């Protein structure tokens, strides 16, 4: 077999379409696979056909240029859609190269065409798959992102829900506390109203009794004065006895009037007064209600003790302290009233106890005294250790209110089984009460101050 035969066999075995074109671009020879790829039954079907005719008109310039370059001795490649003899559209990749004679002249052209339709389809499929995969990937990414955003949203919602539930728990707790407070306040208000009604009722009762008592006394005074107006009809002894009776009635009238004034509601009117004078008046009034073995003493000082306060309220405060002292003594012992000068130094001062000069009134008793628990609740409204009906627990609360109003405070010193000293501290008024000059202040008294 000649080398030419070898080559012909190789060409016949090639999977590609191998053609030889003459110088006019017509097919001069074709291999077996070429016929199959062009869907020709016989070689005569393709031989002498122009190569260009297999291509769509749009590709003719490209084919033409490739043929021309081939004839010029250059190789070219192009790809395009070829129409087979049975009208099928196939994607081909084509290489055209010149075939030269021994002198180097181009005699013909060799065309190697390869059907790449499947390859393109696979490529397209791969591209589509790739596109779909990447879009799926993007979708997945965006889903992951959305999921993570959703997750974040869920986390945020959860946190928010936790915050809301925590807030709601707080609100419920607060509401419960409010309800408890409201409940306690309501109970306290009811209790206060009841006690106030009691206190008011006692006050009204005292006022009523004092009023009627005063009327009866007036009648008795008028009756006696009618008799004493005609002294000639009386024996000296009768005149003397009636005089004594009149005196006693006068005294009783004064007591009734004081009681009446004491029980009646009073508008508060601050005025300059001598604290000792009020103490003396109240002591006199108190004397009437003391057991024989209970002594009440006023350690009277020579100078006045000027304060500016509501006279009635101060009287009421002194009376409250004296009654408490009397009750603490239980029928025997001693109650001592004493006025003094006092001073609060800067060291001792608090926001409820301003530094400065004071006048004091102390009520000391030799009674039961108080333990620490009673001392700490002393000024609480309605705090009482007295049996039902004996004490309202409002006495010291009133005293406290008065002292706050007067700009003063209360000092308490007590020992169980020994006695109690309650001292009212009034800011010293720098006014002249007439007869005496106010002397310089004395050193401050000692003791525990529960009002501060």
Ligand X SMILES: Nc1ncnc2c1ncn2[C@@H]1O[C@H](COP(=O)(O)OP(=O)(O)OP(=O)(O)O)[C@@H](O)[C@H]1O
State the residues that interact with Mg ion by CB under 5 A: 324, 395
Please provide residue 39's backbone torsions phi and psi, each rounded to the nearest 5 degrees: 55, 45
Name which position in 314, 328, 339, 344 contacts ligand X (CB under 6 A). Answer: 328
* Minimum CB–partner distance for residue 323 and ligand X (Å): 6
How far is Cα 283 from Cα 305, in angstroms, rounded to an integer?
16
Q: Which is nearer to Mg ion, 113 or 395 (CB)?
A: 395
Name which position in 16, 310, 340, 365 contacts ligand X (CB under 6 A). Answer: 365
Q: Which is nearer to Mg ion, 31 or 324 (CB)?
A: 324
Under rule CB under 6 A, which residues in 381-420 are in contact with ligand X?
Answer: 383-386, 391-397, 420
**What are the residues whose beta carbons fall under 8 Å from the beta carbon of 404, sequence distance 6 or more?**
none
How far is Cα 222 from Cα 234, in angstroms, rounded to an integer?
17
> Which partner from the list ligand X, Mg ion, none does 393 bind, CB cut-off 5 to 8 Å by kind?
ligand X
* Minimum CB–partner distance for residue 170 and ligand X (Å): 39
* Minimum CB–partner distance for residue 421 and ligand X (Å): 8
Q: Quick check: 285 binds ligand X (CB under 6 A)?
A: no
The tokens describing 320, both together, are 């409250």
Name which position in 19, 217, 286, 325 contacts ligand X (CB under 6 A). Answer: 325
Q: Where are the alpha helices (DSSP H) in 18-98?
A: 32-37, 43-46, 60-71
Q: Quick check: 296 binds ligand X (CB under 6 A)?
A: no
CA dihedral sign of residues 145, 148, 152, 153: positive
Q: Which residue is nearest to ligand X (CB)?
A: 395
Q: Helix, strand, or coil here: 328?
A: helix
Q: Quick check: 424 binds ligand X (CB under 6 A)?
A: no
* Minimum CB–partner distance for residue 317 and Mg ion (Å): 11
**What are the residues whose beta carbons fall under 8 Å from the beta carbon of 124, sequence distance 6 or more?**
none
Name which position in 368, 409, 426, 449 contacts ligand X (CB under 6 A). Answer: 368
* Minimum CB–partner distance for residue 353 and ligand X (Å): 20
Q: Quick check: 367 binds ligand X (CB under 6 A)?
A: yes
- Other CB atoms within a 10 A radius of the CB of residue 404 amount to 13
Q: Which residues in 328-365 are b (16+ Cβ under 10 Å) and which e?
A: bbeeebbbbbbbbbbbbeeeeeeeebeeebbbbbbbbb
Give the binding site for ligand X (CB under 6 A). 320, 324-325, 328, 365, 367-368, 370, 374, 378, 383-386, 391-397, 420
């Amino acid at each position: 077999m000649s080398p030419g035969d070898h080559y012909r066999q190789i060409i016949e075995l090639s999977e590609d379409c191998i053609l030889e074109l003459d110088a006019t671009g017509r097919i001069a020879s074709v291999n077996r696979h070429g016929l199959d790829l062009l869907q020709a039954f016989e070689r005569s079907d393709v031989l002498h056909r122009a190569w260009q005719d297999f291509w769509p008109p749009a590709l003719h310039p490209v084919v033409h240029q490739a043929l021309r370059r081939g004839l010029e001795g250059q190789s070219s490649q192009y790809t395009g859609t070829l129409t087979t003899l049975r009208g099928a559209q196939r994607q081909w990749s084509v290489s055209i190269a010149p075939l030269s004679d021994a002198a180097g002249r181009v005699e013909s052209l060799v065309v190697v065409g390869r059907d790449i339709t499947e390859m393109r389809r696979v490529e397209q499929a791969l591209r589509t798959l790739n596109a779909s995969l990447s879009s799926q990937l993007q979708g997945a990414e965006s889903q992951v992102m959305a999921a993570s955003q959703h997750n974040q949203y869920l986390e945020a919602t959860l946190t928010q829900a936790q915050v809301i539930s925590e807030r709601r728990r707080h609100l419920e707790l607060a509401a419960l506390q409010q309800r408890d407070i409201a409940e306690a306040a309501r109970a306290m208000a009811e209790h206060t109203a009841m006690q106030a009604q009691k206190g008011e009722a006692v006050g009204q009762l005292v006022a009523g009794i004092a009023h009627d008592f005063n009327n009866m006394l007036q009648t008795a005074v008028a009756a006696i004065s009618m008799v004493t107006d005609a002294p000639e009809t009386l024996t000296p002894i009768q005149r003397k006895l009636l005089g004594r009776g009149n005196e006693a009635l006068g005294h009783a009238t004064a007591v009734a009037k004081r009681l009446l004034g004491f029980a009646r509601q009073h508008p508060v009117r601050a005025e300059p007064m001598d604290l000792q004078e009020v103490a003396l008046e109240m002591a006199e009034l108190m004397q009437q209600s003391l057991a024989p073995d209970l002594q009440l003493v006023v350690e009277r000082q020579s100078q006045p003790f000027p304060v500016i306060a509501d006279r009635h309220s101060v009287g009421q405060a002194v009376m409250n302290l004296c009654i408490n002292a009397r009750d603490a003594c239980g029928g025997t012992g001693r109650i001592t009233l004493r006025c003094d000068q006092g001073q609060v130094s800067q060291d001792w001062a608090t926001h409820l106890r301003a530094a400065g000069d004071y006048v004091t009134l102390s009520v000391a008793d030799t009674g039961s005294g108080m333990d620490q628990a009673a001392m700490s609740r002393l000024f609480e409204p309605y705090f009482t250790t007295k049996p039902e009906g004996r004490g309202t627990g409002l006495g010291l609360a009133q005293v406290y209110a008065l002292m706050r109003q007067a700009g003063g405070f209360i000092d308490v010193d007590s020992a169980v089984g020994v006695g109690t000293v309650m001292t009212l501290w009034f800011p010293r008024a720098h006014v002249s009460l007439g007869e005496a000059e106010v002397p310089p202040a004395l050193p401050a008294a000692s003791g525990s101050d529960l009002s501060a």
